[in-house]
């Protein structure tokens, strides 16, 4: 991690110096009369260490201490078929991120079908164009913060689950995979879905639906339980600058290995189901976004099926007060339903509140430097509060 932080710091200095020479491409690179288009981005972020793991999206990576690079390609075979792919490197670990075909069955009808490792259907923050649409440095709690739940291991009792409160970064249970590893967020921002997605638009309304592997919190390439996830989203634009969206997702969550260890039949009873509502409004120098998600996981807990609920809300705003400069803030809270242990009744994971304030300056149209300060507070765990500043430089073409 220290090595990557040093690389990120070096990149901040090098790119800022190079930007002054105007030597970096500012648009996607097109070849073959526009049939092949290449784009990419590089994000370098530095911040102090986070011993409370508030900002980690996996056990290894914090969203405030990383060097991330991505390269995307779009190949247009004809007017009805395109192929899209993206490769991403996070702290020098390279992974395929997206690979799908986009099909337009009818030239005159607004219908797109995407097949493969496809972009998310659910929510607003997950559908924005990576870091360039994030006015701050941190990621929203719903899409980043690790709960204590795992699809490949479940607690045998409510007491065992309660011992893992605020331990989502490294949780372990007695049923299923016995190793210690990270839990899942409410909705993952670190992996695309795999399946089929259809999108259509009519006047001010856009409809999307998808059938994919895994669940909202645990997208998968290879299915691990014989179930599929169904997702749907509708967005409405009732007025200029205003967009309102609603989302739904339901899929089998608990892995086949856990069900076998419990001698349970393969069933869709152990699911994650989520509802989302979001909005975005922009006017003059202002941009305001809000999103709320209610999710429920149903997992085997001893001899019962226990519903574990969570709700998360986020409000953020951005104000451009000078040419090329803006200020931003985001306030969020993640809450959990209560369960009964042998000696206490508590939320099944520790509630979290986060405030982040900051701003940015556009060195060029496609190079932005950002700074922010983040405060995290949690009702549980060894470390219950943490605050730190962060700096970031983002370049894209």
Contacts of 265 (CB under 8 A, 6+ apart): 259
Kind plus residue range of the DSSP H or E element containing 83: strand 81-90
Higher pLDDT, 189 or 378: 378
The stretch 165-192 carries a mean pLDDT of 93
pLDDT band at 379 (very low <50, low <70, confident <90, very high): very high
Q: Is the pLDDT of residue 69 over 50?
A: yes
- pLDDT of 110-154, one tens digit each? 999 999 999 999 999 887 756 788 999 999 999 999 999 999 999
Higher pLDDT, 25 or 203: 203
Q: Is the pLDDT of residue 192 over 80?
A: yes
Report how far residue 252's alpha carbon sits from residue 213's, in angstroms, rounded to the nearest whole number. 9
**Domain residue spans in the chain?**
2-396
Nearest to 96 by CA among 112, 113, 73: 73
Report how far residue 116's alpha carbon sits from residue 102's, in angstroms, rounded to the nearest whole number. 9
pLDDT band at 204 (very low <50, low <70, confident <90, very high): very high
Report how far residue 144's alpha carbon sits from residue 189's, in angstroms, rounded to the nearest whole number. 7
At residue 168, the pLDDT reads: 95
pLDDT band at 186 (very low <50, low <70, confident <90, very high): very high
Q: Is the pLDDT of residue 205 over 50?
A: yes
Report CA-CA distances (Å) from 123 to 117, 120, 314, 324: 17, 8, 12, 29
Report how far residue 271's alpha carbon sits from residue 274's, in angstroms, rounded to the nearest whole number. 10
Report CA-CA distances (Å) from 13 to 20, 300, 339, 387, 397: 11, 51, 50, 25, 19
Q: How many other CB atoms are found less than 10 A from the CB of residue 132?
A: 13
pLDDT band at 5 (very low <50, low <70, confident <90, very high): low
Total-model pTM: 0.91
At residue 9, the pLDDT reads: 54
Return the CATH fold of 2-396.
Porin (2.40.160)
At residue 48, the pLDDT reads: 95
Q: Is the pLDDT of residue 27 over 90?
A: no
Which pair of structure tokens corresponds to residue 84?
Answer: 């899209």
The stretch 251-257 carries a mean pLDDT of 92
Report how far residue 340's alpha carbon sits from residue 235's, in angstroms, rounded to the nearest whole number. 39
Average pLDDT in the chain: 90
Q: Is 110 helix (H, G, I), strand (E, B) or coil?
A: coil
**What percent of the chain is predicted at pLDDT more than 70?**
92
At residue 265, the pLDDT reads: 64
Q: Is 302 exposed, middle or buried (0-12, 13-18, 19+ CB in 10 A)?
A: middle
Report how far residue 242's alpha carbon sits from residue 282's, in angstroms, rounded to the nearest whole number. 7
- pLDDT of 226-252, one tens digit each? 889 999 999 999 999 999 999 999 999
Which pair of structure tokens corresponds to residue 251?
Answer: 């899929």
Q: Is the pLDDT of residue 17 over 60?
A: no
- pLDDT of 83-112, one tens digit each? 999 999 888 888 888 999 999 998 888 999
**What percent of the chain is predicted at pLDDT more than 90?**
75
Report how far residue 333's alpha carbon sits from residue 329's, in angstroms, rounded to the nearest whole number. 14
pLDDT band at 21 (very low <50, low <70, confident <90, very high): very low
Q: Is 168 helix (H, G, I), strand (E, B) or coil?
A: coil
Q: Which of 123-127, 153-157, 178-182 has the lowest mean pLDDT?
A: 123-127
Q: Is the pLDDT of residue 68 over 80?
A: yes
Report how far residue 210's alpha carbon sits from residue 188's, in angstroms, rounded to the nearest whole number. 16
């Amino acid at each position: 991690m220290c090595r990557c932080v040093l690389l990120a710091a070096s990149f901040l200095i090098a790119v800022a110096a190079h930007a002054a020479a105007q030597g970096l491409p500012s648009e996607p690179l097109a070849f073959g009369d526009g049939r092949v288009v290449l784009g990419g981005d590089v994000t370098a972020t530095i911040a102090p260490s986070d011993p409370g793991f508030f900002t980690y999206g996996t056990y290894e990576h914090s969203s405030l201490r990383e060097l991330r690079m991505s390269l995307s390609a779009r190949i247009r075979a004809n007017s009805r078929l395109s192929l899209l792919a993206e490769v991403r490197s996070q702290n020098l670990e390279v992974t395929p991120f997206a690979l799908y075909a986009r099909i337009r069955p009818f030239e005159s009808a607004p219908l797109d079908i995407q097949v493969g490792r496809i972009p998310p259907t659910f929510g607003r923050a997950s559908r924005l164009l990576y870091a360039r649409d994030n006015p701050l440095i941190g990621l929203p709690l719903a899409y980043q913060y690790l709960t204590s739940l795992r699809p490949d291991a479940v607690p045998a009792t409510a007491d065992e689950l309660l011992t893992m409160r605020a331990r989502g970064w490294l949780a372990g249970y007695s049923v299923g995979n016995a190793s210690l590893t990270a839990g899942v967020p409410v909705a993952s921002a670190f992996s695309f879905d795999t399946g089929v997605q259809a999108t259509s638009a009519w006047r001010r309304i856009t409809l999307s639906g998808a059938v994919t592997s895994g669940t909202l919190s645990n997208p998968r390439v290879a299915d691990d339980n014989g179930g599929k996830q169904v997702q749907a989203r509708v967005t409405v634009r009732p007025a200029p600058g205003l967009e309102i969206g609603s989302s739904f997702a339901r899929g089998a969550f608990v892995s086949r290995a856990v069900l076998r260890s419990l001698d349970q039949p393969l069933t869709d009873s152990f699911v994650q189901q989520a509802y989302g509502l979001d909005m975005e409004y922009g006017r003059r120098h202002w941009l305001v976004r809000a999103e709320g998600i209610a999710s429920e996981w149903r997992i085997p807990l001893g001899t019962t099926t226990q519903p574990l609920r969570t709700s998360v809300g986020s409000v953020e705003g951005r104000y451009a007060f000078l040419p090329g400069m803006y200020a931003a803030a985001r306030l969020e809270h993640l809450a959990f339903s209560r369960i009964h242990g042998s000696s206490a009744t508590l939320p099944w994971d520790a509630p979290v509140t986060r405030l982040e304030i900051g701003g940015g300056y556009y060195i060029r149209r496609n190079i932005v430097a950002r700074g922010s300060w983040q405060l995290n507070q949690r009702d549980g765990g060894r470390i219950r509060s943490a605050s730190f500043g962060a700096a970031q430089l983002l370049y894209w073409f």
